[in-house]
Amino acid sequence: MTRQKKVGHINAKCQIIVRMYRALGAQGGEYAGYLGDCFLIRVLNGNEPHAHILIDFGILMGSAQAEVRMRQIATDIIKTTGGTFTADGKIENKGSLDLLVITHEHWDHISGFSQAQDIIFDGLAIKKLWMAWTEDDNDAFANQLRQDRDKRGVALAALSEIIQQAAESPTPSPFSADRQIALSGLDAFLGPLVPNSEVGTVEPALAAAPVKAKRLKGRDIMNKLKAEAIAKEFLLPGQVVTAPGALKAFVLGPPRDLARLKKDKPSGGSAKETYLDNRAFEDLLYRLVDGESHDPDNDSPFASRFHRIRTDHVRASSNASPVIDVSADTSVLQWLYERYFAGAASDGRDQSRRTIDSDWLGAAGPLALKLDSDTNNTSLVLAFELPDNTFMLFPGDAQVGNWLSWHDQTYKDGAREFSATEILGRVRFYKVGHHGSHNATLKEGGLDLMTHSELVAAISTDESFGKQQGAKGWQMPNPHLKEAILAATRGRTFRNDDSLDVDYTQFNDSLYSTDLYLEYTVFNSME
């Protein structure tokens, strides 16, 4: 059994407060919610200077008034961290952020650094930056993972553009792939998709004016943050590191085991079809990115022994006489040409409705899903130890393999040694993973182990907006997970799509709600 020891140099009078941003909008009216992650932790430790930790800063692409909302949040962060503005809104003094934590590269976790770049970079001094080891430029394994992710991202961008061009052609086929359905809306998490020429590049210095500043894309943001931070660390699983405010941070993930990183879904045969296993199709996407044209004969999903009729032979038959007898091979080619290749039939009828050339583009879904899931599994997962030896858990969007890996090692802090089971048993504040997605909170080995009597959960979601995404909508939170969380917390769960009139009496005045954020006092020794 681990012997308990008070954390750091915490004063008798201490408050630890978590602010979950949402930015419902200053105009009021219908609540827009907030599907993204942005959490500001404040440690008020006696007469010591207040410590500030920011975990992520983003909102899902396509959200209403995304830029306005992120700029509101950026302004509040600067003011809360000691910065000031002049009467006309100019930055007068910078705020001071003791620690910035970026869990992973998804747009809904980092978009604000593009949308409010002038405010956040000009108005905030970032003393220290924490990222996962997967973002370390000096780590060969991390570089290989990023190169693979870039390659898939570029292929997805090219495929997205081809789908859009097919839909906007003068004679679009009714069988053309629908971009929203084909990509399942997942490009909203990936952010702006970059063309091949931009991979590996970094944006030039930013202009001060937000309108003139060039938009930062995901990788640009990550590189700029590394450059802006006064100090930076790339954390490894099993580490225990000192955090601002005399807290300790236990690094649970991401794992360095490739099998764990690639395990996105619970085990079971039905999940296998969601993975991109067809290397021939993936290779085709990469050739398209490199400017090669699509060869219908050689890029067929069927083996060559099944290729009885070639498209170039069908096209060559266009100069032959009208079809009379379809029993001969030549007549078959002519029959196919007239009905499926010619722009109009012999009687003048339009043939475009028969074209299915771009229908195959709907296969982009597995690529988008795999890219999305693999990025989620690289999430930096931190458990912050509080003065009473309980924990706050911030898992980013970690999926199954990441969660399972927490139990692969123990966590040593001097003479103390913890297992993941012990840490989870002491979690009193849980930032629910991936907006309540079904595969981002483990049951056994996860939520079932969070047995603290005062467990509170915070879900960063916009349920109604999520239901509008993809072909069938996203369930965020998943109904079964929501039920399990409510049971584990005895109803002490709050979300950033809650309206201002939600009754929070079960929190005993520890939760404060505004149209910009919900603020929960996790620890309070001042009472």
What percentage of the chain reaches a pLDDT higher than 90?
45
Whether 16 and 523 have beta carbons less than 8 Å apart is answered as yes
Closest CA to 261 of 434, 136, 134: 134
- Give the integer Cα–Cα distance in Å for 486 and 327: 68
**Mean pLDDT of the residues in the chain:** 79
Beta strands in 65-198 (DSSP E): 84-85, 91-93, 95-97, 99-101, 124-126, 128-132
The burial of 221, by beta-carbon neighbours within 10 Å (0-12 exposed, 13-18 middle, 19 or more buried), is given as: buried
Quick one: pLDDT band at residue 211, thresholds 50, 70, 90?
A: very low
For the chain, what is the radius of gyration of the CA atoms?
26
pLDDT score of 195: 44
User: Which residues, 6+ apart, have CB-to-CB distance to 432 below 8 Å?
Assistant: 440, 441, 457, 458, 459, 460, 477, 481, 485
pLDDT score of 323: 47
Closest CA to 429 of 493, 496, 508, 514: 493
Give 377-401 pLDDT, tens digit per residue. 899 999 999 999 999 999 999 988 9
The answer to whether residue 44 sits within a structural domain is: yes
Give the three-state DSSP class for 329.
Answer: helix
The answer to whether residue 175 sits within a structural domain is: no
Give the three-state DSSP class for 15.
Answer: strand
The answer to whether residue 84 sits within a structural domain is: yes
Whether 274 and 186 have beta carbons less than 8 Å apart is answered as no
Whether 405 and 237 have beta carbons less than 8 Å apart is answered as yes
Pairing of strands 427-431, 456-459: parallel
Pairing of strands 231-235, 128-132: parallel
The answer to whether residue 57 sits within a structural domain is: yes
User: How many structural domains compose the chain?
Assistant: 1
The answer to whether residue 157 sits within a structural domain is: no
- Report the alpha-carbon angle 263-267-269, nearest 5: 115
Question: Once rounded to an integer, what is the mean pLDDT over residues 108-114?
Answer: 94
The burial of 237, by beta-carbon neighbours within 10 Å (0-12 exposed, 13-18 middle, 19 or more buried), is given as: buried
pLDDT score of 302: 54
pLDDT score of 74: 96
| Lowest mean per-residue pLDDT among 92-96, 465-469, 511-515 | 465-469
Phi, psi at 523, each rounded to 5°: -140, 135
Dihedral of the alpha carbons of 321, 325, 326, 331, in degrees to the nearest 10: -20
Whether 75 and 120 have beta carbons less than 8 Å apart is answered as no
**What is the DSSP secondary-structure string of 81-104?**
TT-EE-TTS-EEE-EEESEEE---
Residue 272 reports pLDDT greater than 50: no
Quick one: pLDDT band at residue 45, thresholds 50, 70, 90?
A: confident
Residue 260 reports pLDDT greater than 80: yes
Phi, psi at 313, each rounded to 5°: -70, -35
The answer to whether residue 256 sits within a structural domain is: yes
* Residue 292 DSSP symbol: P
Task: Return the CATH number at 513.
Answer: 3.60.15.10
The burial of 92, by beta-carbon neighbours within 10 Å (0-12 exposed, 13-18 middle, 19 or more buried), is given as: exposed
Question: Once rounded to an integer, what is the mean pLDDT over residues 167-184?
Answer: 58
pLDDT score of 488: 96
Give the three-state DSSP class for 344.
Answer: strand
Question: Once rounded to an integer, what is the mean pLDDT over residues 48-55?
Answer: 94
Determine how many CB atoms are found less than 10 A away from the CB of residue 343.
9
Distance, C-alpha 163 to centroid of its chain: 23
Residue 410 reports pLDDT greater than 90: yes
The answer to whether residue 437 sits within a structural domain is: yes
Q: Is 382 or 157 the better-scoring residue by pLDDT? A: 382
| Lowest mean per-residue pLDDT among 114-123, 198-207, 295-304 | 198-207
Residue 176 reports pLDDT greater than 60: no
Whether 233 and 130 have beta carbons less than 8 Å apart is answered as yes
**At residue 473, what is the residue type?**
G
Dihedral of the alpha carbons of 496, 499, 504, 509, in degrees to the nearest 10: 80
> Which residue range forms the structural domain that includes residue 477?
14-141+200-271+368-524
Structure token pair of residue 359: 């229908």
The answer to whether residue 490 sits within a structural domain is: yes
pLDDT score of 182: 57
Structure token pair of residue 30: 């219908």
Give 135-156 pLDDT, tens digit per residue. 999 999 999 988 888 777 766 7
